[in-house]
Structure 1
Amino acid sequence: MICELDVSCGSRYSSFDSYRRHIYRCHRSLIDSFGNNDTPSSNIHDIVDDLENIFSHPTFSDESDAINDHESCIYPDEELDDTDRELLNFDSTVVSIANEQVNFGRLAQFYTRFLLELREYHLLPQNVVQSISSKICSLFDIIIKLFKTKVSSSFISIIDMEAVFTHVSFIINSVSKSEYNFLKQCKNDFDYQPPTEIKLTTNEELAYYIPLKQSLFCMLQNGQLLQATIDNINSLSTRAAKDNDLILSNRQSRSVKSNLSRQTNSNSLLLKLYTDGIGITNPIGAKKDSHKFTCFYYLLDDLPDIVRSQVNSIGLHCICYTKHLNNDNNRSILMNILVEDLNKLQTEGITIPCLSSRIYFVFSTLSSDNLASNEVEGFQKSFSSGSFCRHCFVTYEQRHIPLTEISFLPRTRIKHDMIVNKVIANNDGQIIQGVKNESWLKDLIGFHATESLPPDIMHDIAEGACPLIINALLKEVIQQRLLTYSDIEQRTSCFIYGFYDSSNKPPPVKRQQLIHSTIAGTASQKLCFFRLFPIIFHDIIGDLTLLPLYTILREIISYIYANPLRKSWLPYLDGLCKQFHCLMIEHLPDRVTPKVHFLTEYTRSIEMHGLPILNSCMRFEAKHLYFKQIAIRTFNFKNPLLTLTKRHQLRYCMLNNSNSFCYSSSITVRSSKSIKWSKLSIPVRRLLINFINETDLIYECTSIYYHHMNVRTGSIVVHHLAHAEEIPIFCQIHRLLNIQEKTTIIAEMLNTISFDENLWSYEVEFSGTLVTIDIEHCFDIHPHCLDMYDVEHVHYINLLTRISPRTGLEGSVLG
């Protein structure tokens, strides 16, 4: 909408809220005059009459703001977080009420949904929700009084109107006055599935779990997500058949192939599990203490990448106190229930109403950190003695032996089962070759301790090898007196990260951290710091004798984190890992930790478990944040297990009824303005002349959200791969245009000059050549936007992974 309240205004808005704020800010006199006169001004009257016509334009979304009037934006640089973007999906559901038959049942359903959003998206406590309901009822009382005093027409029955409002107030109060009524309404309207209580050895020792059949049925019942998952499986299978060298999914791994071969039904989806501990703290009161829980999550391994990347796609299966699992009887009771639930899901499957056949599930892998993996598998939990590796028979004393001279036997099914039987027969608690007891999930169909627990790149690399090498490099910087401790802290604090890297900006490196050989930050921050380390210290990086350790590890990461990955890369990757291990023994023998050895197992793990990036714990760890937020907001520590599981299920039922799993094309315009054809530069007009007419409406956007990813002007994307060496050719986005309801990108091509091994970055220069790119194909080669960094007036682009062209895209250009 365009503001025409003043001849000199002309500000454009795409939502009424932003337009209303503009009116109150810039045209207050008109509102004041409207309040003082009985007859409203014609301008205000026209605005109200034309609102529906203004909103009908498809280019704008409700959350857009004026782009050409920065004073009208309260937070011009504010970015939407994941919750805000998810909440936008609810708007279409609410608007559709206007076209439906309205009755009191529909009102109760709408109001219950409103309370769900308040509680589970905004995480408001119950007493605040009840207060809001009370104020709404008070508002209705005022409205009734106003009707009584103002309405005198015989066509309206005040008694009938008062009865309607009274009934509405009764519904609002009845839904929100108690937890029981609210949960009952959620169950009726949104298929809320309450958690199931499990009594362990005593009545005070409890666990809660959600049967997988119920959760997966609610997730897949509308059929659209299921169809998208099946299409994704078929698409990846077709691409893999065209290029046998590509590894595209975990279905190509040896362990999953073995499990799929046991399933006679072809309609099978892969189910991944995850387990880890989570801690919450009650900071005050008589119950001041910490609570440590063990959580079991699940994820459909075949979900499209767009859905799989969302934390909401991860479901909760079970939660219990960690201390209760230390008891053998408690652990046996809980595992028997979980294993039985998983086995029934694999053998019986579930029936989806939209399909004529049943859907079956196949267990793929169990992801977790090294400590949890060893505990679930029955291995020793110590990594400082004995046979610490669950993949081979290396001992702690043998970790300094270069792998160029010796190779350690891998653990196999037969050998492991023999050791387990010997441990059980001895029954004296003795650890034999790293095996302490039998696995918790020994009866789970498709599970085996040597084949079902892949290594985790988050703990082994992002939190393991990367900070280890960073610390060693910075210590050498101090020893060579290239920089002081304060210089390092200032440089890491003042470095300007790019837009996409800024979300993972690490904290500055302080003196005490280097002395104690620690690097602060999350896994994502440590990985970001490691990736940009040569650029941050570009002036001294070439003087470091430990630089070969960095470059080899950086090349290892480029292969391990790659998606897709090629089988022909594996022998070279294996050589790199062994070379890194040998250099660590030579230069940093005191820092050869078990995680350094774990790197040498990744080549074999890729063949057994599939792509490491798909088995990473990163997204599962992000799931913990939700439970920690709930614990802080609710402040309920009497029975936190029930509180957390119940709130998770409320959120889950809300997501399942809101199309939150975005699996189709999703483009959200953050802000835009109309632009005339004549205002476009001549090169841009030449590009567009064959696609549009000069009279077509053109809207320019500063940023858009494409599948929850912020695409903005200045972003770098991979345009294509050149030659047999697969050299990436980049382009920089100059304009984001919406023409005829289609988003078109105008980008400038960048020439890739060379690859700088010291900076581990591609040197590029601007070519002056403009190209058009369809947003739907912008990320076919690399699914992320990138930042550009300037080092001594030269432009560099830093890529984390090795890029391989997907089938059908070799040598092609996105357009």
Structure 2
Amino acid sequence: MIRCELNALCGSRYSSFDSYRQHIYRCHRSLIDPFDNDHSGSVAIEKALNDIGGSSVDCISSNEPDLTVDSDEFIHPEEELSEIDYQPINFGPILNNVFDQNTGCTKLTAFYTYFLLEFREHHLLPQKLVQLIISNICSLLDIIIKITNAKTLSACAPVIDFATVLREINQIISFISKNEYQFLKQCTEHFDYQPPTKIMLNTAEECANYVPLKQSVSCMLHDDQLLQAIIDNIKSLSTCTAKDKDLIISNRQCRSVRSNLVRPTNSNALLLKLYTDGIDITNPIGPKKDSHKLTCFYYLLDDLPEIVRSQVDSIGLHCLCYTKNLNNDNSRRMLMNILVEDLNKLQIEGISIPRLSSRIYFVFSTFCADNLASNEIGGLQKNFNGGHFCRHCFITYENRHIPLTDISFVPRSRLKHDKIVNHIIANNGRQIVQGVKGLSWFHDLIGFHSTESLPPDIMHDIAEGACPLITSALLKEAVQQRLLTHTDIEQSTSNFVYGFYDSSNKPPPIKKQHLTTSYIAGTASQKLCLFQLFPVIFHDIIDHLTLMILYTVLREIISYVYSNPIRKSWISYMNELCKRFHALMVEHLPDLVTPKVHFITEYPRSIEKHGLPILNSCLRFEAKHLYFKQIASRAFNFKNPLLTLAKRYQLRSCLLNKTKSLSLSAVTTIRSSKLIEWCKLSHSIQHLLMKDVNKINTIYECSSIDYHHINIRQGSIVVHHLAHAEEIPVFCQIYCILKVEDKCMIIAEILDTISFNDKLWSYQIELTGTLIKIDIEHCFSIFPHCLDSYVVEQSHYINILTRLTKK
């Protein structure tokens, strides 16, 4: 315990030196003024600081090297960077703007506020840690003043001016960091921070926080480069579809969106997609460790280029509320009215863009969510173990075992759905009719309808639904036939060496209790990765499994459903595959015919209605939850988590808008490189580079680079082109990566595609020894990922998830 004795009337007690230091700067500022005539106060505080901190001002001027080992390197292991922390932000232009102009107090205030904004929101640091660092910065400036004063024999005017300037800087820093109010005030003044809007619901205790769409979308589109990229992307996709009428490459081609684009003002409008889901944040303080269940509403511009769309920061927050408040009819109605009004206002009025001297309008496209949330939003029943559980057709739970080769169920339509809703309203909503409970939450939203605006989700239906179901059934059969033991399965899934790119989704080992409960542990990506590589991992037993036919059919369905783009000519064949899969499930695994098995049969019809399933996937939105979970765990504010999360998100948004951190073009980052002489290159490489490289050029050999947020390294495999009418992929393996001046050149070895192995669902390849110079941008336009190769019985195979086609 530390007691303040700097003043006879003080006597305040503090448990830590940092809190005592802040008390000194807050209550005894006059005592540390180096220009005060009475130096007794300065001496007293210096003595107190030295006694407690164990350091002296004189040590600052010591020339001896500091040999102290940073203990944090041994306490904290190296952490794997998340996607939020991984993306670098370039702050160079901000610094140049500050120092190129007249650096007065206003510029200093703006720069220091930006420093705090970056420090807090880019690295997700809690406010207490920021205040501790700032307190030490102020102490550092005070020490600089004292050292300057001590080394100056005479109090000449320039020295006095220098010390006065430092003291003024110290006061500015202390003022900005004084409290949250002052910091937010400076963010508003210099970086256009907009606080979230509070919505009062049914009672005083019930509230929500939302960000008006007009405000957030306007901030995003005021970036001229981003707006031009969106316009160019729309034109590019339109050109592709005009050349090839069979391609489905954009959600603008789906039936539900085309009907919304009919209105005259919407002919050139941008598509706006919504998403909702719930997250749990846990309060680690207190004996009960309270858990808060929140519901998030996100938005995404559907017309963003793929390179921008793939970034989590392109997803914006619309609203945060407690899930329990949505269970109250009055509170839910009040919240939905405000959100719908905000969305309709954006669609009707649009936003004004000064550079275009016109307005940009928006059109609602789809509302993505899991099956439970979609049914709830659409005003449908929330249980899936009875009644009419499907929001796409009128199938009943009792009829789910009837093969679709023998019967077809009537799809839901606008007219039929509206008749049912009117009937329910006329009967005061006392019963559920054909799976319909009543009006949708968003029934007043322009362009929304329960039968056309709620697409299926491949993450929940396939990656977390059918894939682990089939994987578990196959492994159970292997155990029953005594092909494998539970120990063999655990060792095989644990010891299998995944490729570099698949290792990020490496699933956990499958244990006995997982098979007993038919539960495969892991995330959606891990479950999909395990399913994808199942024939490779267990290649020695797949010939003996009678259920392998189920895997083969589902694997082929996935190759179509996950494709981007999709051809219209594929849909009829895909429909037959889905019916066959359902019939095989009824025949072989009738107890596992869950609603998600039926949902897979709806995808062929859904592609025509909602567009590409991969563009409506919830997987990218789920990744957005990580940011809020990190904030919740680091902020330690559980009194009003809604306000904390919404406010911190808005602070991060103004930081991103200021730095324009969304990558709009291909940025190549060199990870590691070494200088290499021209003569050290092989003759084949010299021959390939002869036209582009001079012998006097400086050449660096790179072991890996980051391109389009993808790590490319020596040994990586990419799709070079599609051959013949069957569109067979021809692969190439990266041989070396060279940086010549400012250009990056990639040399690859062409691989010969021998055949497609149906059992392994992989392409068998061989090395050819032929080196070529490749255009990586062209390769990624076919398939924007790098691939791994696996060795099975001394042959090399490449397992690719989707079917490829030319754009």
TM score, norm. by length of structure 2: 0.89
TM-superposition CA deviations, 1:380-425 (whole Å, max 9, x none) = 0010000000000000000000111110000000000000011111
Q: Which residue of 2 aligns with 1:226?
A: 227
Name the CA distance, whole Å, in 2 between partners of 1:777 and 1:696: 26
Give the superposition deviation at 1:635.
1.4
Q: Does the aligned pair in 1 maintain the 2:265–2:361 contact within 8 Å?
A: no
Q: Which residue of 2 aligns with 1:763?
A: 764
Identify the range of structure 1 (280-289 vs 648-657) with the bigger mean alpha-carbon deviation. Answer: 280-289
Residue 453 of structure 1 aligns with an amino acid whose one-letter code is: L
Give the superposition deviation at 1:506.
0.4
The alignment of Structure 1 onto Structure 2 pairs a total of residues equal to 736
Give the superposition deviation at 1:85.
3.9
CA gap 1:768/1:97 in 2 versus in 1, 3 angstroms: farther
The answer as to 2:332 corresponding to 1:331 is: yes
Give the superposition deviation at 1:304.
0.5
The answer as to 2:171 corresponding to 1:170 is: yes
Q: Which residue of 1 aligns with 2:39?
A: none
Q: Secondary structure at the match of 2:448?
A: coil
Q: Which residue of 2 aligns with 1:120?
A: 121
Q: Which residue of 1 aligns with 2:476?
A: 475
Q: Which residue of 2 aligns with 1:640?
A: 641
TM-superposition CA deviations, 1:290-324 (whole Å, max 9, x none) = 21111110000000011111111111101111111
Q: Which residue of 1 aligns with 2:594?
A: 593
User: 1:442-457 alignment to 2 at 5 Å?
Assistant: 442-457=443-458
Name the CA distance, whole Å, in 2 between partners of 1:534 and 1:754: 16
The answer as to 2:751 corresponding to 1:743 is: no
Q: Which residue of 1 aligns with 2:51?
A: none
CA gap 1:362/1:153 in 2 versus in 1, 3 angstroms: farther
Name the CA distance, whole Å, in 2 between partners of 1:358 and 1:660: 25
Identify the range of structure 1 (707-716 vs 430-439) with the bigger mean alpha-carbon deviation. Answer: 707-716
Q: Does the aligned pair in 2 maintain the 1:85–1:708 contact within 8 Å?
A: no
Q: Does the aligned pair in 1 maintain the 2:266–2:362 contact within 8 Å?
A: no
Name the CA distance, whole Å, in 1 between partners of 2:314 and 2:530: 28
TM-superposition CA deviations, 1:211-239 (whole Å, max 9, x none) = 00110111111221111111101100011
CA gap 1:200/1:81 in 2 versus in 1, 3 angstroms: closer
Q: Secondary structure at the match of 1:800?
A: coil
Give the superposition deviation at 1:642.
0.7
The answer as to 2:567 corresponding to 1:566 is: yes
User: 1:636-785 alignment to 2 at 5 Å?
Assistant: 636-785=637-786
Name the CA distance, whole Å, in 1 between partners of 2:685 and 2:88: 36
The answer as to 2:319 corresponding to 1:311 is: no
Q: Does the aligned pair in 1 maintain the 2:266–2:363 contact within 8 Å?
A: no
Residue 740 of structure 2 aligns with an amino acid whose one-letter code is: I
Give the superposition deviation at 1:92.
5.1
Identify the range of structure 1 (582-591 vs 626-635) with the bigger mean alpha-carbon deviation. Answer: 626-635
Q: Which residue of 1 aligns with 2:612?
A: 611
Q: Does the aligned pair in 1 maintain the 2:429–2:437 contact within 8 Å?
A: no
CA gap 1:263/1:529 in 2 versus in 1, 3 angstroms: farther
Q: Does the aligned pair in 2 maintain the 1:271–1:363 contact within 8 Å?
A: yes
Q: Structure 1 stretches (4+) deviating beyond 6 angstroms?
A: 75-79, 152-156
Q: Does the aligned pair in 2 maintain the 1:743–1:775 contact within 8 Å?
A: no
Q: Secondary structure at the match of 2:695?
A: coil
Q: Does the aligned pair in 2 maintain the 1:222–1:354 contact within 8 Å?
A: no
Give the superposition deviation at 1:99.
3.7
Residue 251 of structure 1 aligns with an amino acid whose one-letter code is: R
Q: Secondary structure at the match of 2:659?
A: coil
Give the superposition deviation at 1:262.
2.0
Q: Which residue of 2 aligns with 1:360?
A: 361
Q: Which residue of 1 aligns with 2:583?
A: 582
Q: Secondary structure at the match of 1:696?
A: coil
Q: Which residue of 1 aligns with 2:237?
A: 236
Q: Does the aligned pair in 1 maintain the 2:84–2:627 contact within 8 Å?
A: no
The answer as to 2:516 corresponding to 1:543 is: no
Residue 743 of structure 1 aligns with an amino acid whose one-letter code is: C
Q: Does the aligned pair in 1 maintain the 2:89–2:661 contact within 8 Å?
A: no
Give the superposition deviation at 1:429.
2.3
Give the superposition deviation at 1:77.
11
CA gap 1:668/1:561 in 2 versus in 1, 3 angstroms: same
Name the CA distance, whole Å, in 1 between partners of 2:154 and 2:701: 50
Q: Secondary structure at the match of 1:261?
A: coil
Give the superposition deviation at 1:91.
4.5
Name the CA distance, whole Å, in 1 between partners of 2:764 and 2:99: 56
Name the CA distance, whole Å, in 1 between partners of 2:79 and 2:530: 24
TM-superposition CA deviations, 1:653-700 (whole Å, max 9, x none) = 111111111112211111222111011111111111111111111111
Q: Does the aligned pair in 2 maintain the 1:753–1:765 contact within 8 Å?
A: yes
Q: Secondary structure at the match of 1:293?
A: strand
Give the superposition deviation at 1:76.
14
Name the CA distance, whole Å, in 2 between partners of 1:776 and 1:129: 42
Q: Which residue of 2 aligns with 1:250?
A: 251
Q: Does the aligned pair in 2 maintain the 1:365–1:452 contact within 8 Å?
A: yes
Name the CA distance, whole Å, in 2 between partners of 1:777 and 1:672: 24
User: 1:59-98 alignment to 2 at 5 Å?
Assistant: 81-91=82-92, 93-94=94-95, 97-98=98-99
Q: Does the aligned pair in 1 maintain the 2:464–2:524 contact within 8 Å?
A: yes
Q: Percent identity?
A: 68
Q: Which residue of 2 aligns with 1:518?
A: 519
Name the CA distance, whole Å, in 2 between partners of 1:152 and 1:349: 67
Q: Which residue of 2 aligns with 1:408?
A: 409
Give the superposition deviation at 1:104.
2.1
Q: Which residue of 2 aligns with 1:532?
A: 533
- Specify the structure having the higher radius of gyration (Cα): 2
TM score, norm. by length of structure 1: 0.88
Give the superposition deviation at 1:265.
4.3
Name the CA distance, whole Å, in 1 between partners of 2:610 and 2:546: 36
CA gap 1:668/1:247 in 2 versus in 1, 3 angstroms: same
Give the superposition deviation at 1:776.
3.3
Q: Secondary structure at the match of 2:782?
A: coil
Q: Secondary structure at the match of 2:113?
A: helix
Q: Which residue of 2 aligns with 1:505?
A: 506
CA gap 1:535/1:151 in 2 versus in 1, 3 angstroms: farther
Name the CA distance, whole Å, in 2 between partners of 1:208 and 1:228: 31
Q: Does the aligned pair in 1 maintain the 2:721–2:779 contact within 8 Å?
A: no
Q: Which residue of 2 aligns with 1:463?
A: 464
Q: Does the aligned pair in 1 maintain the 2:223–2:660 contact within 8 Å?
A: no
Residue 686 of structure 2 aligns with an amino acid whose one-letter code is: R
Q: Secondary structure at the match of 1:778?
A: helix
Q: Secondary structure at the match of 1:87?
A: coil
Give the superposition deviation at 1:271.
0.3
Q: Which residue of 2 aligns with 1:798?
A: 799
Q: Which residue of 2 aligns with 1:204?
A: 205
Name the CA distance, whole Å, in 1 between partners of 2:306 and 2:92: 25
User: 1:610-629 alignment to 2 at 5 Å?
Assistant: 610-629=611-630
Q: Which residue of 2 aligns with 1:5?
A: none
Q: Which residue of 2 aligns with 1:342?
A: 343
Name the CA distance, whole Å, in 1 between partners of 2:497 and 2:360: 50
Q: Does the aligned pair in 1 maintain the 2:719–2:783 contact within 8 Å?
A: yes
Give the superposition deviation at 1:709.
1.3
Q: Does the aligned pair in 2 maintain the 1:280–1:291 contact within 8 Å?
A: yes
Residue 616 of structure 2 aligns with an amino acid whose one-letter code is: N
Q: Which runs of 5+ in 1 are unaligned?
A: 1-33, 38-74, 807-815
Q: Which runs of 5+ in 2 are unaligned?
A: 1-61, 66-75
CA gap 1:287/1:516 in 2 versus in 1, 3 angstroms: closer
Give the superposition deviation at 1:97.
4.3
Q: Secondary structure at the match of 1:799?
A: coil
Residue 103 of structure 2 aligns with an amino acid whose one-letter code is: V
Give the superposition deviation at 1:288.
3.2
Residue 247 of structure 1 aligns with an amino acid whose one-letter code is: I
Name the CA distance, whole Å, in 2 between partners of 1:36 and 1:277: 56
Name the CA distance, whole Å, in 2 between partners of 1:610 and 1:107: 51
Give the superposition deviation at 1:714.
1.0
The alignment's C-alpha RMSD in Å is: 1.9
Identify the range of structure 1 (149-158 vs 235-244) with the bigger mean alpha-carbon deviation. Answer: 149-158
Name the CA distance, whole Å, in 2 between partners of 1:511 and 1:319: 40
Residue 381 of structure 1 aligns with an amino acid whose one-letter code is: K
Q: Secondary structure at the match of 2:164?
A: helix
